[in-house]
């Protein structure tokens, strides 16, 4: 656990004891016999365990999942979407998609080819101005995607593989140092792209009507309904400013080429 934190979070600044923190979290042992027999780990949020314990070997994935839970349940000054987000040239691509779509694999490939990582899990769109707030943390990959990205970018830094989790075998890729350094730089969304990996498929970017994109993004939002009118306005402004597409791919190099050719709307700022 400490090895993975030290490896993947080495480039992040350390807070002082007196600094403000949005969340106070910790990992600890359950107070029962499982502390010694088949040890487990608990994730605590302000001293409270929101989840059941997991095997001790899964401590680092539990920390990452727990941090995502903290954000998705509490950061309601932003419209939150389950999506990967990358940026290049001052414009961001938001990639909403369900598990198994290849979203995180594509995100990992893009950030190893010059795109800035904002997040592989959560698009945070400020209600105040519609800008995207970066959340550059380790990229979560699972099963075959781990070795795919290791072969695609041998210099990428990974935590060790953890098997038999609820998501299968998982590992986390270190966020690029430049993405971490620029973590306070908000950005304008310019594209909403729904990726889908399909074995053997030719890379295809297909225009999607904004009305359909609106409903699909809303379905992938954690707090669209909770925000009410503010959620609707924020979503409407995002979609209005974005070119929307379905994207099918099988080869990462083809995907990188297509994403590199993206152009924002003339009116985007």
Each residue of 206-224: pLDDT tens digit?
A: 999 999 999 999 999 999 9
The pLDDT of residue 112 is above 70 = yes
Asked whether the beta carbons of 194 and 216 are under 8 A apart, the reply is: yes
What are the two backbone dihedrals, phi and then psi, of residue 207, each rounded to the nearest 5 degrees? Answer: -60, 140
Tell me if 135 is assigned to some domain: yes
The CATH number covering residue 167 comes to 3.40.50
Q: Report how many helices (DSSP H) and strands (DSSP E) the chain contains, helices first.
A: 9, 14
Tell me if 89 is assigned to some domain: yes
pTM recorded for the entire structure: 0.92
Eight-state DSSP code of residue 28? E
Closest Cα partner for 83 from 66, 68, 64? Answer: 68
Tell me if 161 is assigned to some domain: yes
Q: What mean pLDDT is predicted for residues 17-44?
A: 85
Tell me if 198 is assigned to some domain: yes
Asked whether the beta carbons of 166 and 147 are under 8 A apart, the reply is: no
Q: What is the pLDDT of residues 223-264, one digit of tens each?
A: 999 999 999 999 999 999 999 999 999 999 999 999 999 999
Report the number of distinct structural domains present in the chain: 1
The pLDDT of residue 173 is above 80 = yes
The pLDDT of residue 37 is above 90 = no
Residue 206's pLDDT is 97
Q: What mean pLDDT is predicted for residues 42-58?
A: 94
* CA-to-CA separations, 90 to 78, 181, 188, 253, in angstroms, rounded: 20, 15, 7, 22
Asked whether the beta carbons of 220 and 83 are under 8 A apart, the reply is: yes
Tell me if 12 is assigned to some domain: no
- Between CA 87 and CA 106 the distance in angstroms is 13
Structure tokens at 90: 């001052």
Q: What is the pLDDT of residues 113-126, one digit of tens each?
A: 999 999 999 999 99
> Quick check: helix, strand or coil at residue 219?
helix
Tell me whether strands 78-88 and 25-28 are parallel, antiparallel or unpaired: unpaired
Domain region containing 147: 77-260
Residue 11's pLDDT is 92
Q: Which residues have C-beta within 8 Å of that of residue 166, sequence separation ≥ 6?
A: none
Tell me if 51 is assigned to some domain: no
Q: Where are the alpha helices (DSSP H) in the chain?
A: 2-8, 59-74, 103-111, 144-152, 177-181, 210-219, 224-227, 229-240, 252-260
Tell me if 63 is assigned to some domain: no
Residue 241's pLDDT is 95
Residue 35's pLDDT is 66
Mean pLDDT of the chain: 94
Tell me if 219 is assigned to some domain: yes
């Amino acid at each position: 656990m400490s090895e993975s934190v030290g490896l993947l979070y080495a480039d992040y600044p350390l807070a002082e004891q007196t600094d403000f923190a949005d969340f106070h979290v910790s990992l600890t042992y359950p107070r029962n016999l499982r502390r010694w027999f088949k040890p487990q780990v608990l994730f605590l949020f302000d001293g409270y365990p929101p989840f059941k314990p997991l095997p001790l070997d899964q401590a680092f994935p539990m920390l990452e999942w727990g941090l995502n839970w903290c954000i998705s349940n509490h950061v309601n000054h932003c419209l939150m979407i389950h999506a990967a987000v990358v940026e290049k040239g001052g414009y961001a691509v938001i990639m909403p998609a369900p598990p198994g779509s290849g979203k995180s694999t594509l995100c990992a490939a893009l950030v190893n080819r010059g795109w800035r990582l904002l997040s592989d899990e959560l698009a945070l769109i400020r209600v105040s101005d519609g800008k995207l707030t970066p959340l550059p943390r380790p990229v979560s990959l699972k099963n075959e995607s781990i070795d795919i990205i290791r072969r695609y970018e041998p210099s990428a830094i990974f935590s060790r593989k953890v098997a038999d989790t609820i998501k299968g075998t998982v590992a986390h890729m270190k966020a690029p140092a430049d993405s971490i350094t620029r973590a306070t730089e908000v950005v304008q969304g310019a594209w909403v792209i729904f990726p889908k990996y399909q074995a053997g498929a030719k890379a295809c970017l297909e225009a999607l009507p904004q009305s359909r994109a609106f409903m699909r993004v809303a379905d992938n939002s954690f707090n669209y309904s909770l925000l009410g009118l503010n959620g609707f306005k924020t979503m409407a402004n995002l979609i209005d400013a974005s070119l929307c597409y379905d994207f099918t791919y099988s080869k990462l190099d083809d995907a990188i080429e297509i994403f590199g050719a993206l152009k924002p709307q003339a009116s985007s700022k």
